[in-house]
Structure 1
Amino acid sequence: MYLQIDKSEDFYKDKERRGGQDRRGDLTRPIKNRKIYWIFTHWWAGDLPYVFERHTDITMFLSKQQVQTLAPGNELEDDVVNAYMELVRLREKYMWQNGDLHSPAKRFFIAPSFLMYQTKNLSTNLNMDPYKKTGAKLAEQIDFFKTYHRQFQGPDIQLRDYALFPTCTGGHWILFIVDLNKMKVLLVNPLREDGPFSNFKMIYSVQYYFMEKVLPCWLNYLDPQRFTKKFMKMAIVTVRPKQDTGVDCGVYVCKYVDAILNVIRLEHAVLHPYDDVETFRYRITWELRRGRARHLSAWGLTQRNLGL
């Protein structure tokens, strides 16, 4: 009886919000009510100590406490964000393998958030030129370059057009976007308040050092003919969807990545800070549950294959 009522209610709500337009692939399209009901009764309630989902290409082990951070009003756990990014990497991998994406579509490297944490030993002296390291420091740097150049799904970073670095620092999520062809790097911060440029560089000094100095050195080590620049200047994305609360930064970074892969420019993305963010939380939960990220929109797929 619940499912019969729910189907008609789903149809009504979807029709009401889409304004007569087809919203398949729309990032903000509401999730079905019966799926929300399943989420609340299976993942956000009960006494199970963990959620264990085995799928064809990925096995996730998330504690019940971690899964419950997806519920509205909670700050996402790092492992939840990383699990979602893994689904996005898999989607990219299979769309290329199946021919849904093809040249001249741009290729993306999506780094795990812990990669930035692993750079701490490379960033003990922020004034040191990474090209001038010697001895043990140089050996440590080269070992890092060899270890992390390949993402879990997909080719090496030096074979990509863009690299995305979701990063959590001090309990706050930010996103670095690197154009590997132009050798430019952007910082996207979900916080509503934009401080002076110098404050960002002070707060994220280690991340700045890695992105501006170590990353160009890393790329040059992997492919010295393609990557010749020794420094990348950081720029700030000032126009983008911004969080209204202190707990939604992880959700925004997940959807920044999803929007970029759908060729939605962040300055054009309009997100409701309550309704849409709540929808994103439900969708991320459902995608983790089924082990597959939702498909790219037809429009986004077309734009990608045009090389945009």
Structure 2
Amino acid sequence: MSNNEYSVYNNNTKAYGPLQGYQFNDFMIASATNIILCYKINDDLDLCPTFQSSTLDMHDWKEKNNLYSFILADVFNTYMSHRDKPFTVGPYELNPIDIFYLIEPKYELNDQLMNAHLYKTTTLTTGIVLFDSVSFLKYYSREFRTTAEKIDTQWFNNDIVLVPMPNSRHWILFVIDIEKKTIVFLDSLPSNSRLYEKYKNYIAQLLRTHHFYLKKSSIKFTNWNVVAELHDWQQDDTISCGIYCTFFARFYVTATKYSNINKTNIRLNRVQFALHLLEPTLL
């Protein structure tokens, strides 16, 4: 197989040379980006790591109750009465009609709503970055040639990375806790979507790329673990996966416990979601 004009840095000669004798799957990231992965010949590179299973420790999370529904409704109506034009949340532009329909239990989150809420979550504390669904789909489908603007976020200079993934009108979420060396996989409808095995190698590749970009060495997954069973985060409808994913991300980065989401309070949670977007200082 030809090297597709990719080069590799040789630690011995201190120069770049042609990338030769590789298997395509071993350098999957190279076919999608201009970032070149290279490792010393004696490195023990685990291309498909098997993570140790773990449980999510929430013993030190603080308890907090949601606001009363009538308070949320009044605030929402007040803000919506003054919203008639698109508005921005970080790099994302939102349409007021999406916010209006968002509060209805049968409305599915689109990319803009999902990414905007997760972006707001990254601003709640330091050390949180977002690799949004648009970036993931570009990486996943290998439709772009450079990820410099993404690589420059330097995941390993932060504590937590949020990675939302759309799959056939269903949202799933990876929370990569760099500090704790833990990957939390949230699929709120696992009976319909066993997706961890499908995506875990892509997450590993992204981690490997960011680690090499910053540390100039291969990442060792020996001490990394994964949380993939979250029984308290199982939805009881077929629409609200995005709400579950975004709220879990918010609760994780703030180490906060709220009442479980269910059919009886989903509209209230959707109103709260909308208010997060409209006025971040309220909640």
- TM normalised by structure 1 equals 0.59
* Alpha-carbon spacing, 1:192–1:29, altered in 2? closer, same or farther (3 Å): farther
Instruction: Provide the identity percentage.
Output: 14
* Alpha-carbon spacing, 1:120–1:273, altered in 2? closer, same or farther (3 Å): same
Post-superposition offset of 1:120: 2.3
* Alpha-carbon spacing, 1:84–1:200, altered in 2? closer, same or farther (3 Å): closer
C-alpha RMSD of matched pairs (Å): 3.5
Partner of 2:66: 28
Q: 1:74-89 to 2 correspondence within 5 Å?
A: 74-89=107-122
Partner of 2:158: 160
Structure 1, residues 192-250: CA drift from partner, whole Å, max 9, x if none? 6377xxx4356xx3x3331123432332222235x622787755234332111111111
Please say if 1:271 is aligned against 2:269: no
Partner of 2:195: 200
Post-superposition offset of 1:69: 3.4
Contact 1:81/1:250 (8 A) holds in 2: yes
Contact 1:69/1:76 (8 A) holds in 2: no
Q: Partners in 2 of 1:167 and 1:27 — Cα distance?
A: 29
Equivalent position amino acid for 2:252 in 1: I
Partner of 2:245: 253
Contact 1:52/1:62 (8 A) holds in 2: yes
Post-superposition offset of 1:293: 5.3
Secondary structure in structure 1 of the residue aligned to 2:172? strand
Structure 1, residues 102-150: CA drift from partner, whole Å, max 9, x if none? xxxxx3323222221121244x9xxxxxxxxxxxx9xx4xx32x22135
Partner of 2:173: 175
Equivalent position amino acid for 1:260 in 2: Y
Tell me which of 135, 153, 161 is aligned to 1:115.
135
Post-superposition offset of 1:38: 5.4
Partner of 1:39: 76
Secondary structure in structure 2 of the residue aligned to 1:75? coil
Partner of 1:52: 86
Please say if 1:283 is aligned against 2:283: no
Q: Partners in 2 of 1:26 and 1:201 — Cα distance?
A: 30
Q: Partners in 2 of 1:209 and 1:168 — Cα distance?
A: 16
* Alpha-carbon spacing, 1:58–1:194, altered in 2? closer, same or farther (3 Å): closer
Partner of 1:147: 149
Listed as ranges, the gaps of 5+ residues in structure 1 are 1-23, 94-106, 125-136, 296-308
Partner of 1:220: 212
* Alpha-carbon spacing, 1:71–1:241, altered in 2? closer, same or farther (3 Å): same
Please say if 1:70 is aligned against 2:102: yes
Listed as ranges, the gaps of 5+ residues in structure 2 are 1-61
Aligned residues: 220
Partner of 2:229: 237
Secondary structure in structure 2 of the residue aligned to 1:240? helix
Structure 1, residues 20-76: CA drift from partner, whole Å, max 9, x if none? xxxx9825333443x514535764x89x8x54346xx84863224422331132112
* Alpha-carbon spacing, 1:254–1:30, altered in 2? closer, same or farther (3 Å): farther
Post-superposition offset of 1:173: 1.0
Q: Which has the higher helix share?
A: 1
Contact 1:217/1:230 (8 A) holds in 2: no
* Alpha-carbon spacing, 1:174–1:64, altered in 2? closer, same or farther (3 Å): same
